[in-house]
Amino acid sequence: MTKQQFLDGKSFSLPYTYSNNTTYKCDEDKCLIREYRTKEGQILISDYLMNIDKIGNKMITCFTYILDTKITKKIRYEDMVEVTSA
């Protein structure tokens, strides 16, 4: 996936997640949204996952807080696999 596809809000999956039916996307507020999908690829539920701290040329940096602890995650564009169904 490219940076522009990410910024355009295209849905993507990650190869190292535990669920085959979970995808992600960037919303208009620059937050990372998680989407739960049916086996056919239709979105059932979407919810907020993390804030996007930095959008670089090769990766994004996201963060959230859990029990007063900041959790930071870096995701490379090359690891994002665009979802074409739905």
- Tell me if residue 39 falls in helix, strand or coil: coil
Distance (Å, rounded) from C-alpha 13 to C-alpha 22? 7
Give just the sign of the alpha carbon dihedral 30, 80, 72, 59.
negative
State the pLDDT at residue 86: 47
46-85 pLDDT tens trace: 999 999 999 999 999 999 999 999 999 999 999 999 988 6
Using alpha carbons, select from 61, 70, 71, 76 the residue that is nearest to residue 15.
76
Higher pLDDT, 10 or 40: 10
Are 26 and 11 a contacting pair, CB within 8 Å?
Answer: no
- Please give the residue range of the domain that contains residue 7: 3-82
Are 71 and 64 a contacting pair, CB within 8 Å?
Answer: yes
1-35 pLDDT tens trace: 999 999 999 999 998 776 778 999 999 999 999 99
Q: Tell me how many domains the chain contains.
A: 1
